[in-house]
Amino acid sequence: MRSYLILGMLKGKFFFGIVAFFLDSFGLYAQIDTNIKDEQYRPLIHFSPKEKWVNDPNGMVYHNGIYHLFYQYHPNSSVWGPMHWGHATSKDLVHWKREPIKIFPDSLGTIFSGSAVVDKNNTSGFGKKGVVPIVAIFTQHNEAGEKAGKNDYQNQSLAYSLDNGKSWTKYSDNPVLKSPGIRDFRDPKVFWDEPTKKWIMSLAVVDRIYFYSSYNLRNWTKESDFGETAGAHGGVWECPDLFPLDYNGKEIWVLIVNLNPGGPNKGSATQYFLGDFDGKNFSPYSIETKWLDYGPDDYAGITWSNTGKRKIFLGWMSNWMYANFVPTETWRNAMTIPRELKIVKTGNDMLVASTLIKEIAKLKSKPVVSKNVVLSKPIDIAKTSSIKFPCLINLSTDSIKDFSVTLSNDDSEKLVIGYDRASNQYFIDRTRSGKTNFHKEFAAKHTAPRFVNISKLNLSLLIDVSSLELLADDGLTVMTVIFFPNKPYNQIQVGSTERAVIKKLEYIKLKSIWR
Ligand code: FRU
56 lines ligand 1 (CB under 6 A): yes
DSSP assignment of 248-269 equals TTEEEEEEEEEEES--TTSS-E
378 three-state secondary structure = coil
505 three-state secondary structure = strand
DSSP assignment of 173-185 equals T--SB--SS-S-E
297 lines ligand 1 (CB under 6 A): no
Task: Give the pLDDT confidence score for residue 30 in this predicted structure.
Answer: 30
Closest of 126, 153, 158 to residue 59, by C-alpha: 158
Alpha-carbon distance of 195 to 385, in angstroms, equals 58
Closest of 420, 417, 394, 422 to residue 406, by C-alpha: 417
- Which residues, at least 6 apart from 233, have a Cβ–Cβ distance to it below 8 Å? 2, 207, 259, 262
Identify residue 232 by its one-letter amino acid code. Answer: A
Identify residue 83 by its one-letter amino acid code. Answer: M
Alpha-carbon distance of 11 to 5, in angstroms, equals 10
Mean pLDDT of the 69-97 span: 98
- Residue 407: phi and psi, rounded to 5, are -95, 130
Check if the beta carbon of residue 468 is closer than 8 Å to that of residue 445.
Answer: no
Query: Which is higher by pLDDT, 17 or 471?
Result: 471
**pTM for this structure?**
0.93
DSSP structural state of residue 1: -
23-73: pLDDT as tens digits:
333 333 333 333 456 799 999 999 999 999 999 999 999 999 999 999 999
DSSP structural state of residue 362: G
72 lines ligand 1 (CB under 6 A): yes
Mean pLDDT of the 387-409 span: 94
Q: Which atom of ligand 1 is nearest to the CA of 83?
A: 12
Mutational test site, ligand 1, from 239, 333, 336, max ligand atoms within 8 Å of CB: 239
234-252: pLDDT as tens digits:
999 999 999 999 999 999 9
Mean pLDDT of the 283-305 span: 98
With a cut of 50, say whether residue 6 has pLDDT above it: no
422-454: pLDDT as tens digits:
999 999 999 999 999 999 999 999 999 999 999
Mean pLDDT of the 95-113 span: 98
Mean pLDDT of the 3-19 span: 41
Task: Give the pLDDT confidence score for residue 19 in this predicted structure.
Answer: 44
186 lines ligand 1 (CB under 6 A): yes
Q: How far is the CA of 244 from the centre of ligand 1 (A)?
A: 24
Q: Out of 24, 33, 56, 193, which one is annotated catalytic?
A: 56
119 lines ligand 1 (CB under 6 A): no
With a cut of 80, say whether residue 92 has pLDDT above it: yes
Min mean pLDDT across 29-33, 90-94, 405-409, 506-510 is at 29-33
Task: Give the pLDDT confidence score for residue 38 in this predicted structure.
Answer: 74
Cα–Cα distances in angstroms (integers) from residue 376 to residues 113, 371, 386, 485, in the given order: 50, 15, 23, 28
Alpha-carbon distance of 494 to 406, in angstroms, equals 6
Mean pLDDT of the 139-168 span: 98
Mutational test site, ligand 1, from 85, 137, 238, max ligand atoms within 8 Å of CB: 238
Q: How far is the CA of 97 from the centre of ligand 1 (A)?
A: 24
364-381: pLDDT as tens digits:
999 999 999 998 888 888
Closest of 491, 467, 487 to residue 479, by C-alpha: 467
239 lines ligand 1 (CB under 6 A): yes
Q: Which atom of ligand 1 is nearest to the CA of 187?
A: 10
Give catalytic status of residue 56 as yes or no.
Answer: yes
154 lines ligand 1 (CB under 6 A): no
With a cut of 70, say whether residue 457 has pLDDT above it: yes
Give kind and range of the element (H or E) at residue 2. Answer: helix 2-25
Cis-peptide, bond into residue 244, ω within 30° of zero: no
Cα–Cα distances in angstroms (integers) from residue 220 to residues 51, 237, 243, in the given order: 37, 21, 19
Sheet holding 491-495, edge to edge: 379-380, 491-495, 403-408, 414-420, 425-429, 445-449
> Average model confidence (pLDDT) for the chain?
92
With a cut of 90, say whether residue 336 has pLDDT above it: yes
Percent share of the chain, pLDDT over 90: 88
Task: Give the pLDDT confidence score for residue 385 in this predicted structure.
Answer: 59
Mean pLDDT of the 249-266 span: 98
Percent share of the chain, pLDDT over 70: 92
